[in-house]
């Protein structure tokens, strides 16, 4: 598992942002943007989650092509419906994993911007002049990560060890594999982020 900041993702992201969108963001700030977006999405989902319908933060290209999504949904206790169920929080690169009845949220939705500005300000003293900037920065980052995962699936590193993924420790892990000649991608929140959406529904108010 490679460390996020030790890969080419930050430099590719910085160069691509400037070339394609015109944003001048130094490569060393890439990790801050990743942390802000992942924490912001997770905090928002923890506040707006519903037992009635799944809620999904979906990241798409301007042409509507699916990049990835973060989903939180409630599952009843199958053994005893009277007992509390649990909340499932997952990330996916497969659009078919997004429930058809899910409430869909976007990084471009201004009503959710407070969650990201709060994280950026508290962790890095960083803000976004417009919500559009947040949407563009997050979208292009996950596009870059997805492309890196696809390009490196099935390859080996400089020590001839298989490259199985990349992680930002304590925040999120991304994995890739080749199965039946097809690249399969996955993502999983890590550390404190996993605890932000409680599993035990009994603590819900």
**Residues 174-200: tens digit of each pLDDT:** 999 999 999 999 999 998 898 898 754
93 contacts 146 by C-beta, under 8 angstroms: yes
pLDDT tens digits, 121-143: 999 999 888 899 999 999 999 99
pLDDT for res 114: 95
pLDDT for res 183: 94
Q: Three-state SS for 64?
A: coil
* Residues 73-79, mean pLDDT to the nearest whole number: 87
37 contacts 20 by C-beta, under 8 angstroms: no
Q: How far is CA 38 from the centre of its chain?
A: 5
pLDDT tens digits, 26-48: 999 999 999 999 999 999 999 99
Q: Give the confidence band of 77 by pLDDT, cuts at 50, 70, 90.
A: confident
17 contacts 29 by C-beta, under 8 angstroms: no
Predicted structure pTM score: 0.93
Task: Locate 2 and state its tokens.
Answer: 């490679």
**Buried-state track 175-191, b at ≥16 Cβ within 10 A, e below 16:** bbeeeeeeeebbbebee
Q: Where exactly are the structural domains of the chain?
A: 2-203
């Amino acid at each position: 598992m490679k460390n996020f900041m030790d890969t080419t993702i930050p430099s590719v992201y910085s160069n691509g942002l400037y070339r394609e969108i015109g944003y001048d963001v130094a490569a060393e700030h890439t990790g801050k943007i990743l942390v802000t977006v992942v924490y912001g999405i997770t905090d928002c989902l923890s506040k707006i989650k519903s037992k009635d319908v799944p809620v999904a933060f979906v990241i798409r290209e301007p042409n509507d092509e699916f990049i990835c999504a973060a989903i939180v949904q409630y599952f009843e206790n199958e053994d005893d419906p009277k007992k509390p169920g649990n909340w499932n929080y997952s990330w996916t690169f497969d659009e078919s994993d997004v429930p058809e009845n899910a409430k869909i949220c976007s990084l471009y939705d201004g009503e959710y911007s407070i969650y990201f500005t709060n994280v950026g300000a508290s962790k890095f003293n960083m803000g976004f002049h417009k919500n559009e900037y947040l949407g563009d920065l997050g979208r292009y980052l996950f596009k870059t990560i997805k492309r890196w995962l696809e390009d490196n699936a099935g390859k080996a590193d400089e020590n001839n060890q298989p490259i199985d993924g990349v992680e930002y420790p304590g925040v999120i892990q991304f994995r890739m594999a080749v199965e039946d000649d097809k690249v399969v991608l996955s993502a999983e929140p890590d550390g404190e982020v996993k605890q932000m959406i409680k599993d035990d529904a009994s603590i819900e108010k």
